Every structure is written in structure tokens, then in C-alpha cells.
Amino acid sequence: MFQNKQEFKDKYMSYCLQEIGRPFERCSDRERFYVLADMISDNAREIESAHGKQKEKKKVFYFSMEFLIGRLLDDYLSNLGIRDMVEDGLKDLGADLEALELQEREPGLGNGGLGRLAACFLDSMAALGVAGYGNGIRYKYGLFRQKIEDGRQKELADNWLENDYPWEVRKDDSTVFVRFGGEVKRHEEDGRFWFTWEGGELVRAVPYDVPIVGHNGTRVSNLRLWSTEPYKDDFDIDAFDRGEYSEAVRYRADAEAISYMLYPNDSNINGKRLRLKQEYLFVAAGLSTILRSYYDYYGEDWEKFPSRVAIHTNDTHPALCAPELMRMLMDDYDVDWDTAWDIVTKSVSFTNHTILSEALECWPIDIMRQMLPRTYMIIEEIDRRFKESVPIDIENRHRVLANTSILWDGTVRMANLSIIASYSVNGVAALHTEILKNIVFSDFYKLMPEKFNNKTNGVSHRRFLAESNRPLENLINTAIGKDWIGDASKLSELYKEENNPAFLHALEAAKRANKERLAYFLKVGCMTNVIPDGVFDIQVKRFHAYKRQLLNVFKIIDYYFRLLDGTAPELPPCNFIFAGKAAQGYKFAKDVIYLINRVAEKINNDERVAGKIKVVFVENFSVGTGQLIYPAADISEQISTAGMEASGTGNMKFMMNGAITLGTLDGANVEILEKVGEENITIFGLRAEEVEHLRETGDYQAFSYYNGNARIKRVVDSLTDGTFSDKLDDFAGIRDELVFSNDYFFVLRDMPAYIEAWEKTMKIYADREHWNRISLRNIAASGFFSSDRTIKEYADEIWGC
């Protein structure tokens, strides 16, 4: 690396000549970005090389379908401690660092909280010196690029690899061959028997490594992403000569499709097969690398494997880790069943991220048996042995087996497999973990309570506060120094400033600067002029019925109607901002996006409410967009149906940036309430136990709420009376879901309490000093929600690092 600004400039200009073949002055911003990225990534790999081969360090392999790492240049520069030097050096050369940063494409490696959490965890592992290795898939086209056309979501390919990705290195020497299909053969000799898996289809899994630099630039976590290629160049020339051109390249297309897209639509048989291939591919390739490396270091010393290696599965997508590790140990390394099972059940741990039944993956037995015959044999045996282990005299044994068996009703239940084969099972917020223990996995909890524990999620405060919010970062540094960047708990020192008018005024000025930045982005990107002096009321999440973006838009419609008829209370002007994607096949969620955009069109063009209310939908939400949005927020909308959100991480990002949470007692909102105090958060609505009771008893009748409350009825009727669309059936599905399908997520039930809570929060905003003090308290209490704290708990209490 370079020690001063002049050394940086000299080296940078030299790199330009070497890499581009032209002097710096004649390079484009894109070329300048790639040159800078090459310089920085070379240094990151030097750090990785210095620490990556320490035999004595226990290694943690984190398996996840998603790693939403975002742009990395700012991360690297900040964590290496050279951002100011590089920025000043580029300025001397006539270049702008921010312009170069905008040249970086965000990698399409995730969708939402699950992937961003995994990325935060890699950052924190590096910061804390945990030897962390991410293991996922290098999706060629990511999830999709969201485009809003005529108010509706349209999905386009996210070709993020259109240009080279500068941070990755292809590792051909670590290529793994992965098998699908074929048959299992049993062999026996001298009373000993074994199995081989033969035939079928082989694909090449080629790894690309991305270093994730930790705070202070002393450690690096490695993210390994697998890309699929054909086992051999199997071009069918005979088919081509017959004019069957697609058939001639079918094998290549089938192999490469495995790593094309995140979450292909699995509503059809081909989609299910592709999803299962993806899940097996990155598990098999990752485990093969782990075992090969372990064998090179330690030989056949398998009994100590659990003390040297931790394998963590992030949700059920990597659930095949356990049976596949069994298969490799037994078939490739000649380990007996009992020893292999002992290794697996001391090495593999599992985090559950959801209680939604559709997200607790189940695969048809026929598909798995055909695609993964040997792995399925092992799953059968794990299931058989587990059933035998359930005590004969246990109460309601048939019900217990029905709830806990891996194989049931023609399916392989991946959550059950994960629980049975893991030594640790954790939820991601206190409430979520209690729901897992007492409701979702209650029979498992009774059988093996020692496995269950809670690890409340956290986010990288360096990424989502220090890097995203420079005005606030500078203010905090002035007040308490810079130690908080390495230790987020030190943010609590800000409490001493809560009665300092000068600090509170500076805090408001920082928020104003962030609002102006976001307002400019919305003007350019969304063609909407928001109200900079108004409240920024923001909800950014993946679209799903339980997250209740619909409840939010109903509040807006109700407020709009009351502004028109003169019954609205006197409140500050307000900007309502939404962002998030709906799954391609999720009609209800896509209809809600369309509704938001139609409401926005109606309200934003109504001169009667000009200056009082604006509605904006930000298309194609990403990590980078989030880093613009979180610092500008005043109100953080966290309004999911109680008991449905596992944790949430957006709530933490907003809190760190001084937004006040308006939410239900769901997910990590419970712990935010505990940390910040009830006077510094607004909570409303049904509690989780009340939701469960109403569902069990059937006491809630949505139609009665619709008919019994004139304001609710007016809002619901506006969906189909032409107020927001000339096509009266555009939103009939939403109305029917609420009124005639009994409103499963209690939108109408919570609506009055929600509106009352929102109005209360808006009135607090009018008292600027009081609001700024509440904002400061949220920032000061947010250190608990750093992913550094979460990873330390994982390392100390699960992985044993």
C-alpha cells in the first residue's frame, strides 16, 4: 500500500499506464475506477494471503444463497483507512472519487435482508479476526432489475457482469465437479460394503473469490462464489447438422443455467429442479473444498474436524450440508457412519430466518431421489434413525413424528433436516426465537431444548452509518471521537449530548443535508419534487403481504381523503417513500406496488394538497439506494403483522441514522423498544399472542370491520370505485383478500391504531428540539444492533472461535 498522498498519486498514474495503456489524463471515469479497484484489491489479497493459512485458527464457513455485498470501493477505502488520502490525491489529479464510485455496478447476489445480513457478517468476521469464509453462487443475472412502467413492476435481466467485476479472482485450480442424477451401486468385499455414485450429469463448479476487508484493514474474509460450466465442451455436431441448433448446445445451456438467476420461479417442475440443483451445487462444491483443504492440512485426523471447522447454514437453502458432508466423509474418505454423524452433528449449525410456511422449504421426494440418489439415501437413513430415537412412550407420538420427521407426505422437509443434523438452532430476534420454540418447532424444542438459542441480528454500522451518512459520522466524531467505528457500543456516549442545544441543532442540520441529497436523487431518478422541509416517512422492504405495505398506503389514502374534506389534523408536510421488489410470480405484492404508484400519481397531481403530501416509489431498490435513503428518514415504518417478521434489519439501519421507529411489537422492534425506551419509539397494534389467538379462535371478522368503520370502508371502496384506476377490477384482488378472505394479516384490524400512532408521531415532529433529542437517543442506543455484537455472540456461543 502507499504511505502518503504523493506515493498514491505516483502509483495510481503508473497503474493507469500499465493497465489501460494511456496516461491518467486520457482515461475515462470507468477506466479510472477499474485502475483504482485493481490497486486496492491487490492490497486486499496481500492481507488475505498473510492470514489465510493459519492452521491453528478455527475456520467458519458461512453457507448462504445470498450475499448482498453492494459496492465495495468505499468499504475498502474506509476499512483500509485511506479514503481521505485517496480522495485528496484524486482531487489533485483532477478526478472526483464519488464519480469513480458511481462507476461500480452492484453485484446481483441477493434480494433482501437475508443476503445483506450475510454480507454484514463477513464484514464483522473480518473486523473481529474470525476466520470467515462465505460460500454462495455467482449469479450471472442476479434476481432481476426492477423497472416501473405505467405504475407496474416489470422484471428485466440484471446483467451486472456485463463488464468485468474488478474485485473477484477466478480460481480454476479449485474447480469442483458436481454430479446430478445417475445411480448408486452397492459394493461388498470381505464383509465390508460401500457405495459409489456413478453416471448422470457432471458440471464444473468454478470458484470466484472476493476479499471482504475488515475494519482497520488487518483481516479479510473470503467470499467464494460458484459459477457453473459444462463438464466438457459437449457440442453436438450431428444435431447441429440436422438443423437442431438448440439441441446442439443444450448440455452447455443446462449447465450454465444453474448459476444464471437467484430464485428461479419454482411453481413448475423445471423451476423446482433448477432450484434444487442450485442448492446442491453450492453445498457440494463448498464442502468439497473444505474437506480437500482439511485433508491437505491434517490428513485423516477427522475426529478433530469439529474443533477446527464450523459450518453454518443461513436458512434452509444450504440444508443439504449435513447429508452431503456425510456422503463425502463416507464415500470419498472412507469414514464409517457413526464417526461421520458425530462429525456432522458437532460441525453444522443452523439459523432459521422465517416462520412462513412457504419459506420452510419442502422438496418432492421423487425429484430429490432422481437428482441426488446417494444423498437422498443418506437422508432416508437419518430420518429412519431419528424416528427410532423418539421415545415410544412420548405423549402424542404420532403427532410428534408428523411434525418432526424429515420425510413426510411425499416431501423432504429441509427445516426438519437442518434441526436434526445441527448442534445449534438459532432464531434471529428474541420474539422470533420464542415463536420457534413454542409454536413452529415446539415438538423439536421439547425433544432437544439444548439446541435452541437466540442471536439477534445486527447490521454493519460502518457501512450503514459511517459510510452512508458522512454528515452524521463527522458530528459523532467531533462529540465522542472515532473509537465507535471499531466498537459500536461506544455510541452510547452520545447520551451526554441530549441536553446540548448546539449538538441537537447540528444533528438536525445533518439530517437536513441528507434529506436534500435524497430529494435531488428522487427529482432526477423518480421525476418527483418532494418537500425537503417535510417529514420523510419511509418504508423500504421486500414486498409481501405480512410486511403490510398495504396498511401504509391505506393510511395515506385515508389522510388524503381527510385533507380533502377538511377533517385532517394539523400536521407537518409529509413525504411518503416506498421501495422494494415483489417476487416475479407474487401477484398480490405486485398489485400493491401498482396501487402505490396510482395513489402517487393521483396525490402528486392534486393541487388541493400541494405542499402537504407527496408519495414516491423508488424503483430497483439496492444497497446503494438504501445508503441514500436510510440517513434521510425521519419515520421508519416497521409495521409487519406481529409474530410474522423474524427480525428485520432495515429497522436497525434506520435507527442508527436517527429515524424514529413506528412499528408493531414484531421481530427486533421488541429489542429496539427495550434499548431505546417506550418514549423514543411508537408502538401500535395487535401483539403476537393476540394474532395467534384470533387465528385459532376465528374471532376476527374482517367484513365486520369493513362495514363498521366508515373511514375503513371509504378507503377499501376506493380500490374499486374508479378513484385510482379507470379499470375497476385492477385492485379487486386486494379488496377480496381483505374483505372476503378475512384479512389474514390483520390490515383492517390494525388500521385505526396505526393511523392514531402515526398522527402521534407526526405531532412530536413539530416540536423540533424534542424530536432531535429522541433521534439522538435512537442513535446512542443503536450500538447493540451492530453485526459485530452478533458475530461475537455466534463466535463465542455457537462456533467456539
Exactly one of 437, 541, 614, 773 is catalytic; which is it? 541
CB contact at 8 A, 740 and 703:
yes
Q: How many Å apart are CA 801 and CA 57, to the nearest integer?
A: 8
Q: How many Å apart are CA 281 and CA 273, to the nearest integer?
A: 12
Q: Give, in degrees to the nearest 5, the angle at Cα 658 between 654 and 664.
A: 55
CB contact at 8 A, 66 and 115:
yes
411 flagged as catalytic: no
Query: Whats the size of the chain, residue-wise?
Result: 801
Output 386-393 pairs: Cβ under 8 A, ≥24 positions apart: 386/420, 390/447
Exactly one of 528, 649, 661, 720 is catalytic; which is it? 649
Exactly one of 463, 547, 590, 773 is catalytic; which is it? 547
Q: How many Å apart are CA 483 and CA 390, to the nearest integer?
A: 52
Q: How far is CA 495 from the centre of its chain?
A: 31
Phi and psi for 77 in degrees, rounded to 5? -65, -40
653 flagged as catalytic: yes
CB contact at 8 A, 161 and 84:
no
Exactly one of 542, 598, 773, 789 is catalytic; which is it? 542
Distances (CA, A) of 435 to 11, 200, 674: 56, 42, 18
- Bridge-partner residues for 539, per DSSP? 578
CB contact at 8 A, 680 and 659:
no
Strand bridging mode 411-413 / 574-579: unpaired
Q: Which secondary structure element, helix H or strand E, spans residue 32, and what is its range?
A: helix 29-51
Exactly one of 9, 515, 653, 773 is catalytic; which is it? 653
547 flagged as catalytic: yes
353 flagged as catalytic: yes
Q: How many Å apart are CA 794 and CA 403, to the nearest integer?
A: 28
Exactly one of 116, 327, 353, 451 is catalytic; which is it? 353
Cβ atoms within 10 A of the Cβ of 366, count?
Answer: 12
The full DSSP string for 128-172 is HT-EEEEEEE--SS-S-EEEEETTEEEEE---TTSS--TT-EE-G
Q: How many Å apart are CA 155 and CA 143, to the nearest integer?
A: 9
Nearest CA-CA partner of 67 in 168, 154, 173, 177: 168
CB contact at 8 A, 673 and 716:
no
Q: What is the DSSP letter of 63?
A: E
Give the list of residues 6+ apart from residue 7 with CB closer than 8 angstroms, or none: none
Residues classed as catalytic: 353, 541-542, 547, 649, 653
